[in-house]
Amino acid sequence: MIKYTGKGVYGAVAIGNVSVFKRQGAEVKHDHVEDIEAEKARVEKAKELAIEQLQAIYEKALKEVGEDHAQIFEVHMMMLEDEDYNDSIINLIDTRKVNAEYAVKVTADNFAEMFASMDDSYMQARAADVKDISNRLIACLGGGGSSDASGDGKYVVCADDLAPSETVSLDKEKVLAFVTSHGSSNSHTAILARNMNIPAIIGVGDEFLENIKDGDFVIVDGFTGEVYVDPDPETLEVMTKKQTEDIEKKKLLQDLKGKENVTLDGTRIKIFANIGSVKNVGAVLQNDAGGIGLFRSEFLYLENDDYPTEEEQFKAYRKVLEDMGGRKVIIRTLDIGADKQVDYFNLDKEENPAMGIRAIRICLTRPEIFRTQLRALYRASAYGSLGIMFPMITSVSELEKINTICESVRAELKAEGVVIPDNVEHGIMIETPAAAVISDLLAPMCDFFSVGTNDLTQYTLACDRQNPKIEPFVDTHHEAILRLIKMAAENAHKHNCWIGICGELGADTTLTETFLRMGIDELSVSPTFVLKVRDQVRKIDLSK
């Protein structure tokens, strides 16, 4: 038995035989051509064929994984039409008299390198997309397309990396799991695997692919990121049990849809979901969350090349509110800075960005950006039940300034004839120790608190959340953090303010009872954890 370890991107266990993914168009010859015009015409024809194929993949993805995830193939079609990309291919044929395949390959390598060298992890992940469309184009220059790895039966598909189009082209019925030597958890492939509910492990390293061959018997543990090749009988037994238990657990969780979040003694709690994009609302509804406890609105800014306009933001917020059909939606005003950098904000480089000009500090120093977002939020508020939440609060004076700006924006809109319902709630994140300590002063000024345990942990324990080396020092259950949450809960309730938790700790079911005993009113977790937390709540008896 040999064990390889990577990163699990979807927690489930698969046991079966390997099919090594075979890709066409990987070998590209470098030829000299005389008839440049004929070569350019070949590119045009291949492009048409590639677009036809992508359209078919888009339609397949639409049925299998939904519109949000199918959109990447529309992006691929657009990338194939990109002027710079096409100019580069044509230019290489014109100036270096090379064959079309080679021109596409060189262009793909250059573009992929450019994307990979960008700081932004989203842009880095686009390197895989440009390689994907180029491989397709090269295959189409040969008249065909890329092959998939599935034969008869079900397989564990192993590859160096899988492009999104390759992932979705595989027959889902024949794939037990994905294992790739490379890849990032931010890639669309990882996202698609999660959405297809297929166990997947990325980044197991080159050695794995060098040693693995078709037909090898493997166990894939998507929870731990471990792959066992030719497992011994004991491992097989343990993992078979783990697989059976997981399947049973997931089945049982489905039965919890439509059930209440109520403890054995009758205490109720709200379980909401966190989202980063309008596109995630489907997952919120599928997992039966009672509302959205955190919409990280900064992703609207991160996805754009320029400040999203008031109209663009209004449309996005309205859509989320409408899609949630009257259920509560808490939208957090932008939390840019620290790890979430956006070039067009032109923020100064800082020694210590987590403690620098970020989140509300940007909004208060650049009120025009803040006012645009607030206008969009208030305009959208008539379409559902909105809560507006402010991040990184440390003082009463910040909240006073925020309230003044909010009042002025509301007055401006009312003068324009915009109707703003009275039920819009205003709340703050408790994610700095300062906010928790002065929560008695902040609570009378808010409708709700939401504890951001991710930042609260980093600031309380002085442990940079971006630094993996510091992880051994991070005790997420540290008494200091729990005391701060309890203090905030007590102060909130004294002042008629409700309190939720939207940081990752909210999904830690070993703490659910502790949170319930503190009187936490709402837990907002990633959509896939909603039913798991509901399950835990329903097992707790607070009367004991």
Report, as residue numbers or ranges, the catalytic residues: 188, 502
Give me the least distance between CB of 75 and Mg ion, in Å please. Answer: 29
Identify the CA nearest to 509 among candidates 532, 478, 489, 527.
532
**For residue 111, what are the contacts with CB-CB under 8 A and spacing of at least 6?**
85, 88, 127, 130
Residue 58 vs 301, nearer CB to Mg ion = 301
Residue 68 vs 455, nearer CB to ligand PEP = 455
Residues between 229 and 288 that touch ligand PEP (CB under 6 A): none
Residue 20 vs 357, nearer CB to ligand PEP = 357
Is the distance from CB of 428 to CB of 399 less than 8 angstroms? yes
Number of helices (H) and strands (E) in the chain: give both, helices first. 21, 16
Residues between 333 and 372 that touch ligand PEP (CB under 6 A): 335
Residues counted in the chain: 544
Residue 220 vs 502, nearer CB to ligand PEP = 502
With CB under 6 A as the contact rule, the residue among 308, 427, 503, 527 that binds ligand PEP is: 503
By CB under 6 A, tell whether 455 contacts ligand PEP. Answer: yes
Give me the least distance between CB of 303 and ligand PEP, in Å please. Answer: 15
Give me the least distance between CB of 474 and Mg ion, in Å please. Answer: 15
With CB under 6 A as the contact rule, the residue among 25, 164, 293, 452 that binds ligand PEP is: 452
By CB under 5 A, tell whether 25 contacts Mg ion. Answer: no
Take residue 301 and report the two structure tokens written for it: 């800014």
Q: In the bound complex, which residue of the shown chain has the CB atom lying closest to Mg ion? A: 455
Is the distance from CB of 147 to CB of 55 less than 8 angstroms? no
Residue 274 is inside which H or E element, if any? strand 270-275
With CB under 6 A as the contact rule, the residue among 126, 296, 318, 534 that binds ligand PEP is: 296
497 CA to centre of own chain: 30
Residue 403 is inside which H or E element, if any? helix 396-415
With CB under 6 A as the contact rule, the residue among 129, 148, 166, 431 that binds ligand PEP is: 431
Strands (DSSP E) contained in 112-234 are 155-159, 175-180, 200-202, 217-221, 226-229
**For residue 241, what are the contacts with CB-CB under 8 A and spacing of at least 6?**
none
The residue behind tokens 């390197």 is 127
Give me the least distance between CB of 178 and ligand PEP, in Å please. Answer: 27
Residue 301 is inside which H or E element, if any? helix 298-302
Q: What CA–CA distance (Å, rounded) separates 75 from 309?
A: 22
Identify the CA nearest to 519 among candidates 501, 532, 544, 535.
501
Is the distance from CB of 500 to CB of 522 less than 8 angstroms? yes
* SS3 per-residue string spanning 59-78: HHHHHHHCHHHHHHHHHHHH
Take residue 337 and report the two structure tokens written for it: 């800075």
With CB under 6 A as the contact rule, the residue among 110, 286, 454, 509 that binds ligand PEP is: 454
DSSP 268: B
By CB under 6 A, tell whether 522 contacts ligand PEP. Answer: no
With CB under 6 A as the contact rule, the residue among 46, 492, 502, 540 that binds ligand PEP is: 502
Only one of the segments 61-69, 234-242, 414-422, 430-438 lies at the binding site for Mg ion (rule: CB under 5 A); that segment is 430-438
C-alpha to C-alpha distances, 64 to 19, 190, 286, 304, nearest whole angstrom: 22, 16, 15, 28
By CB under 6 A, tell whether 24 contacts ligand PEP. Answer: no
Residue 195 vs 432, nearer CB to ligand PEP = 432
DSSP 178: E
Only one of the segments 50-58, 139-147, 451-459, 515-523 lies at the binding site for Mg ion (rule: CB under 5 A); that segment is 451-459
By CB under 5 A, tell whether 387 contacts Mg ion. Answer: no
Give me the least distance between CB of 46 and ligand PEP, in Å please. Answer: 43
Binds 453, which of Mg ion, ligand PEP, none (CB < 5 to 8 A, cut-off by type)?
A: ligand PEP
Give me the least distance between CB of 452 and ligand PEP, in Å please. Answer: 3
Look up residue 464 and give its amino acid: D
Q: Is 183 helix (H, G, I), strand (E, B) or coil?
A: coil
Residue 370 is inside which H or E element, if any? helix 367-380
Residue 242 is inside which H or E element, if any? helix 233-255
Residue 109 vs 504, nearer CB to Mg ion = 504
Residue 157 vs 336, nearer CB to ligand PEP = 336
Q: What CA–CA distance (Å, rounded) separates 353 from 481?
A: 22
Q: What CA–CA distance (Å, rounded) separates 513 from 519?
A: 10
Is the distance from CB of 481 to CB of 458 less than 8 angstroms? no
Is the distance from CB of 109 to CB of 115 less than 8 angstroms? no
Look up residue 353 and give its amino acid: P
Residue 355 vs 411, nearer CB to Mg ion = 355
Residue 50 vs 362, nearer CB to ligand PEP = 362
With CB under 5 A as the contact rule, the residue among 145, 293, 452, 506 that binds Mg ion is: 452
With CB under 5 A as the contact rule, the residue among 132, 161, 298, 455 that binds Mg ion is: 455
By CB under 5 A, tell whether 68 contacts Mg ion. Answer: no
By CB under 6 A, tell whether 132 contacts ligand PEP. Answer: no
Give me the least distance between CB of 388 and ligand PEP, in Å please. Answer: 15
Residue 178 vs 390, nearer CB to ligand PEP = 390
By CB under 5 A, tell whether 39 contacts Mg ion. Answer: no
Binding-site size, ligand PEP (CB under 6 A)? 10
By CB under 5 A, tell whether 431 contacts Mg ion. Answer: yes
Only one of the segments 240-248, 308-316, 416-424, 455-463 lies at the binding site for Mg ion (rule: CB under 5 A); that segment is 455-463
The residue behind tokens 């890639």 is 187
By CB under 6 A, tell whether 147 contacts ligand PEP. Answer: no
Give me the least distance between CB of 527 and ligand PEP, in Å please. Answer: 15
Phi, psi of 446 (to 5 degrees): -130, 165
Give me the least distance between CB of 75 and ligand PEP, in Å please. Answer: 25
Residues near Mg ion, by CB under 5 A? 431, 452, 455
Residues near ligand PEP, by CB under 6 A? 294, 296, 335, 431, 452-455, 502-503
